[in-house]
Amino acid sequence: MPFSRTLLRPFAIILTGLFAAAALHAADNPLKQTLTDMNAYYANHWIYNDLAAARAEARRTGKPIFVTFRCVP
Amino acid sequence: MKGVDLNLFQFDHDLNWAAMFINADGTIYGRYGTQSAAGPDAFNSIESLEKAMQRVLKLHAAHPRNQSSLAGKRGKDRSYRTALEMPGMKNKDRLRGPTNRGNCIHCHMIHDAENLHAYRAGKMDWDLLWRYPYPNNLGIEIDPDDGRLIKAIKRDSAAEKAGLLAGDEVIAVKGQPMISIADFQWVLHNLPNTAVSVTVTSKRGDRTADYKVAAKPGWKKTDFSWRGSLWAMPPQVGIFFPQMKPEELKKAGLPQDAIACRVTYMANNNQTAQAAKRAGLRLKDIVVELDGLPVPPGHRAVNYYIKQNFRPGQNLPLTVLRNGRRVKLSIPLHE
DSSP per residue over B257-268, as a string? T---EE--EE-T
Please give the biggest Cα pair distance in chain B. 72
CB contact under 8 Å between B101 and A66, yes or no, is no
Q: ipTM of this predicted complex?
A: 0.86
DSSP secondary structure code for residue B84 in this structure: G
Rounded to a whole number, what is the distance in Å from the CA of B214 to chain A's nearest CA?
33
Closest in B21, B49, B99 to A20, CB measured? B99
CB pairs under 8 A between A and B: 90
**For an interface test with B, which of A45, A48, A66 has the most B Cβ atoms less than 10 Å from its Cβ?**
A66
Kindly report the pTM of this predicted structure.
0.87
Contact residues on chain B for A18, CB-CB shorter than 8 A: 1, 104-107
For residue range B3-59, list pLDDT tens digits in order.
899 999 999 999 989 999 999 999 999 999 999 999 888 999 999 999 999 999 999
The residues near B214 (Cβ < 8 Å, ≥ 6 apart) are: B158, B161, B162, B195, B196, B197
Radius of gyration of chain A (CA): 12
CB contact under 8 Å between B19 and A65, yes or no, is no
Distance CA B262, CA B283 (A): 8
Query: Is any Cβ of chain A less than 8 angstroms from the Cβ of B6?
Result: no
Query: Is any Cβ of chain A less than 8 angstroms from the Cβ of B241?
Result: no
Q: Across the strands, what pairs with B330? A: B317
Predicted local distance difference test score (pLDDT) of residue B281: 97
Predicted local distance difference test score (pLDDT) of residue A1: 41
Query: Is any Cβ of chain A less than 8 angstroms from the Cβ of B62?
Result: no
For residue range B243-278, list pLDDT tens digits in order.
999 999 999 999 988 999 999 999 999 999 999 999
3-class secondary-structure state, position B123: coil
Predicted local distance difference test score (pLDDT) of residue B191: 97
Cα B293 to the chain's mean position, in Å? 25
Contact residues on chain A for B9, CB-CB shorter than 8 A: 67, 69
Predicted local distance difference test score (pLDDT) of residue A21: 32
Q: Is residue B89 within 8 Å of residue B11, measured between CB atoms?
A: no
Residue A8 has pLDDT above 80, yes or no: no
Query: Is any Cβ of chain B less than 8 angstroms from the Cβ of A34?
Result: no
Query: Is any Cβ of chain A less than 8 angstroms from the Cβ of B19?
Result: yes
